[in-house]
Amino acid sequence: MSKGLLNDLRIRPRRLRRSEGLRQLTEETVLRRADLIQPVFVKEEGEPEGVESMPEINLLAIPDLLEEGHRLLDLGIRGMALFPNISPNKKDSQGSEALKEDTLVLRAARELREALPEMLLISDLALDPYTDHGHDGLLAENGSVANDPTVEVLVEMAVLASRAGIDVVAPSDMMDGRVGAIRQRLDEEGEQETAIMAYSAKFASAYYGPFRDAVGSARKDESPIDKRSYQLAPSNSRDALRELLLDEVEGADFLMIKPAGPYLDIVRMARERTNLPIAAYQVSGEYAQLHAAAKNGWLDLNSCIMESVLGIKRAGADIILTYFAKRAAALLKS
């Protein structure tokens, strides 16, 4: 192409990419440290214990968890999502440990609330860390997960969590009707200020394996637990939208999509259909695969972290739960 033809090219999008100042001026999606929530794993006692499938992630006893909370605040992260690693001898088929007032996650919540009053505390509501079978609910006689009895337990868990100082309860079980039941019971108990972050579109994903290592809910024989009777099929977007809208009607304060990366179309769909805040969870498998690729020298870890998290924000998420929160916040701060 001759120089004369290019002289008539009036629309040149590259003009706005020419310098760092222009690129920042025209930045469409801005990721903030306040957008990030760090999931943390709490254990009964002992020194920090690494999770082999999740590099840089540790199981923390409560004293170390308090120190971690201070580090997160210093980085500008204002939210922690708590997940317990329960001793195997405390697990049973009913998940009865979940309803004890001195259970691990509630003890951690009380101490965090006293030590870090400015930290937003989010508590997962599900039975899989507490059951010896690893399912998110109680089992019926035929081996299926019983919906309504499970919801009754989740309601009690929500009340206990709220009384322990939890700001946001996050039912992750995908039982029908649990958001409405939790909202009603919290209001009846005078816990109206406690918000609900519903795992509204939680898919039956292959990306959860490292998380199950961290909370100790993986099967001993390493065969996967089939949760397809309550979690969403990866093929179904209309079913996901139905769940999202139902949770909004039932009183959820936030709607969550999990996992994030493989389901950015669902994040965008949710953003276009609701005015509620949208959360997306960049799950353990997403975290592990980036670490594995970086370890092999195939990807630059920091660049991929920022690109992946920014992509989740660009798709429409207001809030991002990610195990990369600390590292991303440090990069944003620098």
Provide the annotated active-site residues.
202, 258
* Residue 201 · residue 232 · CB < 8 Å: yes
First to last CA, the chain: 44
What's the rounded Cα separation, in Å, for the pair 183 and 163?
14
- Six token digits for residue 66: 């308090």
Quickly list DSSP for 84-139: E---GGG-BTT-GGGG-TT-HHHHHHHHHHHH-TTSEEEEEE-STTTBSS--SSPB
CB atoms inside a 10 Å sphere around CB 311: 17
- Six token digits for residue 62: 């409560």
* Residue 214 · residue 41 · CB < 8 Å: yes
How would you classify residue 48: left for phi > 0, otherwise alpha for psi between -120 and 50, otherwise beta? beta
- Torsion sign, CA atoms 239, 240, 246, 250: positive
Query: Of 276, 290, 275, 274, which is closest to residue 323 (Cα–Cα)?
Result: 290
What's the rounded Cα separation, in Å, for the pair 213 and 216?
5
Residues forming a β-bridge with 50: 58
The CA-based angle 189-190-194, given to 5 degrees, is 100
What's the rounded Cα separation, in Å, for the pair 25 and 240?
36
Query: Of 31, 19, 21, 56, which is closest to residue 41 (Cα–Cα)?
Result: 56
